[in-house]
């Protein structure tokens, strides 16, 4: 169950990065709404991370949390913000995903 909580925390990390990027693109009320979404997603992400590390090793949980955030943010950039998707970028994303999965399997 705590792995599921950790995965959800990582997804909220992706969401707060998305909100931050959208806030940068907008002005006025929309910008403040995106910043509000950033704050809410950040708080949820951190609270879920705190819950997950109560039973998971801190180093593993933090690495998985940041890994999910990194992979998700890069994929959001590719699909929504027209970031480049060249061979090496995809190669290292796949490597990072493999590392996250590996950390889960070697954790007790």
Residue of 2, 3, 1 lying closest to 100 (CA atoms)? 3
d(CA 30, CA 57): 39
pLDDT in tens, 46-105: 999 999 999 999 989 999 999 999 999 999 999 988 899 999 999 999 999 999 888 888
Interatomic CA distance for residues 35 and 24, integer angstroms: 9
Q: What is the pLDDT of residue 106?
A: 86
Predicted TM-score of the model (pTM):
0.86
pLDDT in tens, 32-59: 999 999 999 999 999 999 999 999 999 8
pLDDT band at 30 (very low <50, low <70, confident <90, very high): very high
Is it the case that residue 108 has pLDDT exceeding 70?
no
Look up residue 73 and give its two tokens. 């943010």
Round the average pLDDT of the chain to a whole number and report it: 93
Q: For position 77, what pLDDT does the model report?
A: 92
């Amino acid at each position: 169950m705590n792995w599921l909580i950790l995965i959800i925390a990582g997804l909220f990390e992706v969401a707060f990065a998305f909100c931050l990027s959208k806030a940068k693109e907008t002005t006025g009320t929309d910008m403040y709404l995106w910043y509000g979404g950033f704050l809410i997603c950040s708080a949820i992400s951190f609270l879920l991370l705190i819950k997950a590390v109560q039973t998971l090793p801190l180093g593993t949980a933090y690495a998985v949390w940041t890994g999910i955030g990194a992979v998700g943010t890069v994929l959001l950039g590719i699909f929504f913000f027209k970031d480049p998707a060249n061979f090496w970028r995809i190669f290292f994303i796949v490597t990072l995903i493999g590392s996250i999965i590996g950390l889960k399997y070697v954790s007790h």
